């Protein structure tokens, strides 16, 4: 697997092993934040899908945070699928998480329409030709929308969700209006929104968004998530996220 053999570590003590290379780009930390956000709002989700699963960070974190759920990951790049499968085996989670090679814009037998309770995704943040271009083709594939525009990702997620199912994504804050329109056009009502800031006083860098298929209106704009304190150390919430679930299955004080 040239260029994708990951340096790995436990995501939290006793947690799944993940790639420290960030799925070929800067997706590692964003996927961890998304997993925490989605798991806290997952309801009774049992069948979960991760579109554009890369090296598996989001899928592996979700399956660890949702002990009664199974997760299927779909990824365009074959070497990333192989890496994700290796990490699932190293984590002892191969019975509950499976990774498949495929294009989210096309039908796949392992991803039937209306077959999932929850869909998560970390779409590329830039359209082709926009944003910083890396000499590493794997990083370019992660950062730029070579596998479809974000509207196509959201439409694919909606197609997989049962009525009432929930869709969660992380993206750049400046693209929020486009994301909300795409969710509504796909029949997914925006329900949860949280802005992610480097620290108090900084503008939002990312947004965490969630919606529900065929649901009525009503968007909860939640308190900001700060990654750092004004002194530059990890915030209490970031420290909680990287502690993982409590031994009794609770999520370190966050309401499920």
- Identify whether 2 is part of a domain: no
Q: In this model, does residue 27 exceed pLDDT 70?
A: no
Domain membership flag for residue 147: yes
| 164 inside domain | yes
pLDDT of 134: 46
Q: What was the pLDDT predicted at 127?
A: 72
Residue 256 lies in a domain: no
Q: Which of 44, 48, 74 is closest to 61 using CA atoms?
A: 48
Residue 186: what are its φ and ψ, rounded to 5°? -90, 5
Q: Within a 10 A sphere around the Cβ of 138, how many other Cβ atoms?
A: 20
Residue 154, token pair as written in the block: 């959201």
Task: Please state, rounded to an integer, the average pLDDT across all residues of the chain.
Answer: 88
Q: What is the pLDDT of residues 181-224, one digit of tens each?
A: 999 999 999 999 999 999 999 999 999 999 999 999 999 999 99
Task: Tell me the DSSP string of 14-72.
Answer: TS-EEETT-TTTTHHHHHHHHHHHHHHT-TT--EEEEET-TTSHHHHHHHHH-TT-EEE
Range of the domain at 49: 8-106+114-241
CA 254 to CA 154: how far, in whole Å?
27
d(C-alpha 82, C-alpha 213), whole Å:
32
Residues 145/127, Cβ–Cβ less than 8 Å: yes
User: Does residue 41 belong to any structural domain of this protein?
Assistant: yes
Looking at the predicted structure, is the pLDDT value of residue 128 above 90? no
Residue 45 included in any domain: yes
pLDDT band at 135 (very low <50, low <70, confident <90, very high): very low
3-state secondary structure of 21: coil
User: Between 57-65 and 78-91, two packed helices, what is the crossing angle to 10 degrees?
Assistant: 30
Structurally, the chain folds into a number of domains equal to 1
Of 253, 243, 210, 255, the closest CA to residue 64 belongs to 243
What is the four-CA torsion angle of 142, 146, 150, 151, rounded to 10 degrees? -160
- In a 13 Å sphere around the CA of 26, the CA atoms on its Cβ side amount to 13
Provide the token pair at 37.
Answer: 């956000």
pLDDT value at residue 129: 56
Give the CA radius of gyration of the chain.
17
Please check whether residue 184 lies inside any domain of the structure. yes
Q: Residue 28's pLDDT is what?
A: 75
Give the whole-angstrom CA distance, residue 45 versus residue 41. 9
Percent of the chain past pLDDT 90, that is, above it, reads 78
Q: Residue 126: what pLDDT?
A: 82
> Looking at per-residue confidence, does 100 or 132 come out higher?
100
Q: Of residues 246 and 140, which shows the higher confidence score? A: 246
At residue 3, the pLDDT reads 43
What CATH number should be reported for the domain holding residue 226?
Answer: 3.40.50.150
Angle, helices 176-185 vs 150-160, to 10°: value is: 40
Q: Is residue 246 part of a domain?
A: no
């Amino acid at each position: 697997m040239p260029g994708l053999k990951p340096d790995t570590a436990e995501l939290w003590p006793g947690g799944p092993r993940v790639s420290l290379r960030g799925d070929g780009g800067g997706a590692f930390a964003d996927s961890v934040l998304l997993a925490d956000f989605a798991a806290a709002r997952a309801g009774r989700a049992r069948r979960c899908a991760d579109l554009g699963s890369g090296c598996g960070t989001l899928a592996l974190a979700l399956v660890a945070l949702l002990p009664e759920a199974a997760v299927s990951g779909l990824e365009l790049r074959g070497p990333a699928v192989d890496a994700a499968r290796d990490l699932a085996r190293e984590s002892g989670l191969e019975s509950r998480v499976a990774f498949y090679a495929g294009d989210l814009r096309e039908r796949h037998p392992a991803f039937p329409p209306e077959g999932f309770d929850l869909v998560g995704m970390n779409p590329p943040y830039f359209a082709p030709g926009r944003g910083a271009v890396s000499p590493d083709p794997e990083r370019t594939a992660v950062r730029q929308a070579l596998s479809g525009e974000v509207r196509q990702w959201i439409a694919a997620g909606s197609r997989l969700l049962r009525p009432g199912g929930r869709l969660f994504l992380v993206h750049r804050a400046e693209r929020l209006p486009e994301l909300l329109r795409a969710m509504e056009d796909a029949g997914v009502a925006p329900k949860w929104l949280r802005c992610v800031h480097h620290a108090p006083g900084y503008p939002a860098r990312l947004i965490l968004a969630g919606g529900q298929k065929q649901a009525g209106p009503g968007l909860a704009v939640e308190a900001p998530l700060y990654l750092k304190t004004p002194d530059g150390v990890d915030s209490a919430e970031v420290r909680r996220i990287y502690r993982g679930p409590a031994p009794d299955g609770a999520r370190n004080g966050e309401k499920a």
